[in-house]
Amino acid sequence: MTRIVAVTPYNPDWPTLFKNEAALLKKIFKTEILDIHHIGSTSILGLAAKPVIDIMPIVNDIEKVDRLNAEMISLGYEPRGENGLPGRRYFQKGGNQRTHHVHIYEKGNPDITRHLAFRDYLRLNGEEAKQYGALKMELAKQYPFNIEAYIKGKEALVRKIEMKAIKWHGALC
């Protein structure tokens, strides 16, 4: 079955879906999880998004995550290892009809700041969030069966926003 690229208007159930799944993850990882964040477009009020909940647990020791793959599989997740990003453990749920992505990082990993800065910046900058959402809707219409083209199409805007977000975040710290 082909993965369909679908971007939908904001769904007010997304925060609850995150909380429910985060509770399940906490039961698996127990004290290894230091914090758990709702990231990605579904974490930004009003933003159009692929209806996939992105979750970012922060753990003490990334190596311990690999020992819990069987428990993640029992929740319906597919372990994907680093999946192209060194220092991350990535899991996806739902196959081609994805419902959740879990991006696990060890405390201190700089990608944590990148994800949180992007999310928080768009939460406070509604016009840029609207522009990003509109681009995603257009790309989903243009490439409904080509996730790679969809991702490539939004890459330049994501980088631009990400650079602003990191600079903004740095000014806050």
- pLDDT tens-digit map of 74-130: 999 999 999 999 999 999 999 989 999 999 999 999 999 999 999 999 999 999 999
User: pLDDT over 90 for what percent of the chain?
Assistant: 95
Q: Bin 171: left if φ > 0, else alpha if -120 < ψ < 50, else beta.
A: alpha
pLDDT of residue 171 exceeding 70: yes
Q: What predicted TM-score, i.e. pTM, was given to this entire model? A: 0.95
pLDDT of residue 20 exceeding 90: yes
| Arithmetic mean of pLDDT, 13-28 | 98
pLDDT score for 2: 77
Q: How far is CA 27 from CA 22, 30, 75, 79, in A?
A: 9, 5, 11, 17
Query: Are the C-beta atoms of 25 and 36 separated by less than 8 Å?
Result: yes
Tell me the residue type at 74: S
Phi, psi of 166 (to 5 degrees): -70, -40
E strand or H helix at 63: helix 62-65
CATH no., domain 14-172:
3.30.460.10
